[in-house]
Each structure stands twice: as C-alpha cells, then as structure tokens.
Amino acid sequence: MSVTLPRETLEYLAFPITTSPVDAASLSHQVAIIDEFAHPVSGDWFAGTYTNAEVQVLVRASEDAPAGGDVELAVGRWRVWWRADANPEFPARQVGIVSVV
C-alpha cells in the first residue's frame, strides 16, 4: 500500500496485515516508519492499533502539522514495517510506503 500525505496533515493511517491462523486482535502489534532503504532497529518500533485486519498509527506528516501522533515524519519517502508477538512466532513485514510532500 502506498500513501501520499501533504506535510500539513495529522491523521490515522491503516495498513492491511495478515497473520498466521491466530486471533490477530489478541496480539501485541508494533509499527516502524523508517527511511525507505533501511531496516528497523529496536528503537524504531512503537505500538500500533489493530482493527479489521489492519494496523493503524497516528502520523504527523511533518513539523508543519498540528502537534501529536505516534510518529512524526519529514518530507520524503518512508517504508512502513509491522510486527507482532505471536508466540512462538514474531512475524515482521513491510506493509507500505508513505510519501510526505
């Protein structure tokens, strides 16, 4: 999934996810939004909210947007990663691209 945001926006973004045959609503979901050419490291992850086979995060597109959000971006292109603790599995996948203009 690819999304383009104007730099003035503060809004929830939802990314479709799939998991093994477990109750995804019972899992702990995390999201990382990082440089499109990087892989996430431990400090990049923050809590996501799972609803209807999607993980949601509140994104502040840049410092030009109202204050708030789970993550603040800057103008550029960002890769979105998702992971969940599904003991014994710990799936992690790229789930989208966010462009801030």
Each residue of 4-26: pLDDT tens digit?
999 999 999 999 987 666 788 88
57: domain range?
2-100
Return all residues near 62 (Cβ < 8 A) that are at least 6 apart.
7, 8, 72, 73, 74, 75, 100
**The CATH number of the domain where 74 resides is what?**
2.60.40
pLDDT in tens, 38-72: 999 999 999 999 998 899 999 999 999 999 999 99
* Number of structural domains the chain divides into: 1
